[in-house]
Structure 1
Amino acid sequence: MPPLDFALNHMTAPGLKLDAFFALAVSLGMKAVEIRNDLDGNAILDGTTPAEVKALAERHGVTIISINALQRFNEWTPARAAEAKDLIDYASACGARALVLVPKNDGTGQVDGERQENLRTALTALKPLLDAAGITGLVEPLGFEVCSLRSKREAAEAIRAVGGEATFRLVHDTFHHHLAGEPDLFAGLTGLVHISGVEDPAVSVSDMRDGHRVLVGPKDRLDNAGQIKALLAAGYAGPLSFEPFSPSVHDVADPKAAVAESVAFLRANI
């Protein structure tokens, strides 16, 4: 089994400026990071140029594995196309290797037939943009019942249907995988794994939301350790990126110690 390759998504410590966030990753022995375009007062929303981001990453010796994310990517419109082009250009200029693609998650676009066609349309349009920039598109199905793309199998079928195997990869998010209840892993098509746990014993699976997502520990209800073991056994050898959304994690006084504790737990149980 390959060694565990941990990475850090900026959502782990969204209050840190990019410089401090990169320093946190390095202090944890991590060389791979994900930056986001949804953090107010932080890169990318604060106007930080891609050249500045690239220089910071080079100074810290980290690789930006993704920008997270192009939202509602499977609702392809002229506005979405322009947004995609801007994000792909930014990714290319800052040295990011991939762009995460997040589907509509509001109860629309779920009709069988329609949702598959919408997905293929978006992937077909994105493919030449990503290829021209040398950027990978990371398709992330969400397990929420209102999501227009819950199934990794559906995503994999669409990627193959548009001849996109060299352009697109799947995100296996341990939280969303658990919520979707889809057993298949698609390790060979997976380009990134997002990890977070849920410990609240009272919340039902169908009521789990981003706010429940904490660092993975012994009370984890999602079986992160089992999911990761299965992915590695099936051939996945890429990064395992921490992506907790809970305010309880964001407000922790010592994020380095908190993440290190989760790393130690996973290393001991995988």
Structure 2
Amino acid sequence: MAAPTFALNHMVAPQMSLGSFFKLGKTLGINQFEIRNDLTGNAILDGTSPHQVRELAEGEGAEIISINALQRFNEWTPAREEEARRLAAYASACGAKALVLVPVNDGSGKLEGERQGNLRIALKGLKPILEQADIIGLVEPLGFQICSLRSKKEAVDAIHATNGADRFKLVHDTFHHVLAGEPDIFPAMTGLVHISGVDDSKVSVDGMRDPHRVMVTGGDRLGNVTQIRDLLAQSYAGPFSFEPFSPVVHATTDVTGLIKCSMDFIREKL
């Protein structure tokens, strides 16, 4: 079985500037990164041009694997289409390989038939935009009960129904995989894996939220190591990107140490 390739999502240290974030990875032997468009005071929201981002990445030997994310992608409106065009163009210009696609997550658009139809409409609308930018769309089902796209199988069915397999892949998120309660994994359709752990022993699975998500440790309740092992055993060869949302992680003074411990733990357990 191949060893995992680790990547960093900017959520691991959201207060760091992009240049510092790339340097952080470099000190850990990581050269694949996800940048975000939801971090106030940081690229992309602060107006940093895609060409500056590309120069920063090239200067550190960093590969930008995705921009995270086009939100509410499966609610396809003229405004959403315009946003998708802008983000796809930015991704292409900064050298990013993909754009993460996050579904509506507010309790709407969930009805049987409605949600599958909305998903197909969005994929059809996105496909030519992604093709023009020459990037991949990474569809990320979320496990929350209020989400309009919880099932990876539903996402895969829609991708095939819209002839999108050359342009769309899945994000397998170890946290959302557990919350969704869907046993199936789709390694051949997976383009990116997000990893984070939940150590809090008091919270129920249905009560788990982003702030519970820490690095992967011995206290992990999500079975990250098992999920990673299963994906690798079934020939997934893409990156495993750390994406912790916990304020505890964000407040640490030794993020390098936290990431290193987590990588060592996962490698040892595999």
Taking structure 1 as the reference length, what is the TM-score of the superposition? 1.00
Amino acid at match of 2:255: P
SS of residue matched to 1:198: coil
What is aligned with 1:158? 158
What is aligned with 2:127? 127
Q: For residues 37-58 of structure 1, give each alpha carbon's deviation from its aligned partner in whole angstroms, at most 9, with x where no partner exists.
A: 0000000000000000000000
Work out the CA distance in 2 between the residues paired with 1:265 and 1:150: 29
1:62 has 2:65 as partner: no
1:97 has 2:97 as partner: yes
Amino acid at match of 1:195: I
Work out the CA distance in 1 between the residues paired with 2:137 and 2:121: 14
Work out the CA distance in 1 between the residues paired with 2:179 and 2:233: 22
What is aligned with 1:7? 7
What is aligned with 1:208? 208
What is aligned with 1:239? 239
1:119 Cα offset (Å): 0.1
Task: Count the aligned residue pairs.
Answer: 270
What is aligned with 1:222? 222
Amino acid at match of 1:121: I
Q: For residues 126-163 of structure 1, give each alpha carbon's deviation from its aligned partner in whole angstroms, at most 9, with x where no partner exists.
A: 00010111100000000000000000000000000000
Structure 1 unaligned residues grouped into runs of 5+: none
Work out the CA distance in 2 between the residues paired with 1:177 and 1:258: 23
Structure 2 unaligned residues grouped into runs of 5+: none
Work out the CA distance in 2 between the residues paired with 1:2 and 1:95: 27
Q: For residues 50-80 of structure 1, give each alpha carbon's deviation from its aligned partner in whole angstroms, at most 9, with x where no partner exists.
A: 0000000000001000000000000000000
Q: For residues 237-257 of structure 1, give each alpha carbon's deviation from its aligned partner in whole angstroms, at most 9, with x where no partner exists.
A: 100000000000000001101
Work out the CA distance in 2 between the residues paired with 1:84 and 1:109: 19
Amino acid at match of 1:234: Q
1:2 Cα offset (Å): 1.3
Work out the CA distance in 2 between the residues paired with 1:111 and 1:139: 19
Q: CA RMSD in A?
A: 0.4
Contact 2:3 2:267 in 1 (8 A): no
Work out the CA distance in 1 between the residues paired with 2:150 and 2:163: 21
Contact 2:32 2:64 in 1 (8 A): yes
What is aligned with 2:32? 32
Amino acid at match of 1:250: H
**Identity rate, percent:** 63
Work out the CA distance in 1 between the residues paired with 2:28 and 2:229: 22
SS of residue matched to 2:115: helix
| Runs of 4+ displaced beyond 4 Å | none
Contact 2:143 2:150 in 1 (8 A): yes
What is aligned with 1:116? 116
Q: Give the 5 Å matches for 1:165-184.
A: 165-184=165-184
Q: Give the 5 Å matches for 1:134-149.
A: 134-149=134-149
Taking structure 2 as the reference length, what is the TM-score of the superposition? 1.00
Work out the CA distance in 2 between the residues paired with 1:171 and 1:18: 23
What is aligned with 2:264? 264
Amino acid at match of 2:43: A
1:44 has 2:44 as partner: yes
What is aligned with 2:250? 250
